């Protein structure tokens, strides 16, 4: 998730570690500093002493004693290459949490969930499944290559499907939208989608055609 400069005061959080996930992606672990959030929310993150910031969905769970964000390194980008070079003890400025891509207690008790992610859009679902271990979900993760299945062992294997579009070896060969067309969902499902806008628009049309009501569709767009 990317953004404009943050407008509100930010709090310094010390870096604890940078964990490489391959495929030019990594997790930044920070001191939590008592930050309270709802699973699915995001924070703005910037370098210490600088004004510009970017938005990142919170990757860690609300019960963890640290704060984590999942970052895709963008060659030539302003922030991500610098985040990758961070060392323990360096500080980032964090503001938030923000956002409404959350699951209420009433919804959690209501039934089955379909989570659909592309790339690093899996972040809020990693947070959801850490926060709500008993939630009834299916997770579709759309990636180009197998090494982009970020920490897939964090999910119950029977509930996780990797849709790999440019390499053999995934659970499904193709995009998540291809999978949805071939595997219609239960119209009663609560569907949460996070990723690039093209995927979300296409998936919304597919799910609506399969009988999912508009009020059961929720999205967080990554640009």
Distances in Å between the alpha carbon of 69 and those of 32, 129, 178?
Answer: 12, 15, 28
Confidence band for 222, pLDDT divided at 50, 70 and 90 = confident
- Which residues, at least 6 apart from 157, have a Cβ–Cβ distance to it below 8 Å? none
As assigned by CATH, the class of the 105-222 domain is alpha beta
Where are the chain's structural domains?
A: 11-98, 105-222
pLDDT for the residue numbered 136: 96
Distances in Å between the alpha carbon of 21 and those of 106, 149, 150?
Answer: 35, 9, 6
For domain 11-98, give the CATH number.
Answer: 2.40.30.10
pLDDT for the residue numbered 4: 41
Using alpha carbons, select from 220, 5, 198, 207 the residue that is nearest to residue 103: 220
pLDDT, tens digit, 9 for 90 and up, residues 45-92: 999 988 889 999 999 999 999 999 999 999 888 999 999 999 999 999
pLDDT surpassing 80 at residue 217? yes
Average pLDDT over residues 124-136: 96
pLDDT for the residue numbered 29: 98
Q: CA–CA separation, 199 vs 215, rounded Å? A: 19
Reduce the DSSP state of residue 177 to 3 states and report it: helix
pLDDT, tens digit, 9 for 90 and up, residues 151-193: 999 999 999 999 999 999 999 999 999 999 999 999 999 999 9
């Amino acid at each position: 998730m990317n953004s404009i400069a943050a407008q509100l005061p930010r709090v310094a959080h010390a870096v604890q570690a940078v964990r490489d996930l391959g495929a030019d992606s990594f997790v930044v672990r920070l001191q939590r500093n008592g930050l309270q959030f709802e699973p699915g929310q995001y924070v703005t993150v910037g370098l210490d002493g600088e004004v510009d910031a970017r938005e990142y969905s919170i990757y860690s769970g609300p019960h963890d004693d640290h704060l984590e964000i999942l970052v895709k390194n963008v060659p030539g980008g302003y922030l991500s290459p610098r985040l990758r070079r961070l060392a323990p003890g360096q500080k980032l400025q964090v503001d938030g949490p923000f956002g409404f891509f959350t699951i209420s207690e009433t919804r959690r008790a209501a039934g089955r969930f379909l989570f659909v992610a592309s790339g690093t859009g899996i972040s809020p679902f990693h947070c959801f499944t850490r926060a709500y271990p008993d939630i009834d979900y299916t997770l579709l993760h759309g990636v180009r290559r197998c090494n982009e299945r970020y920490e897939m062992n964090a999910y119950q294997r029977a509930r996780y499907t990797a849709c790999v579009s440019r390499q053999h070896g995934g659970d499904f060969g193709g995009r998540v939208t291809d999978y949805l067309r071939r595997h219609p969902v239960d119209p009663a499902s609560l569907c949460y989608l996070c990723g690039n806008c093209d995927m979300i628009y296409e998936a919304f049309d597919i799910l609506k055609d399969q009988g999912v009501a508009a009020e059961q569709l929720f999205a967080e767009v990554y640009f």
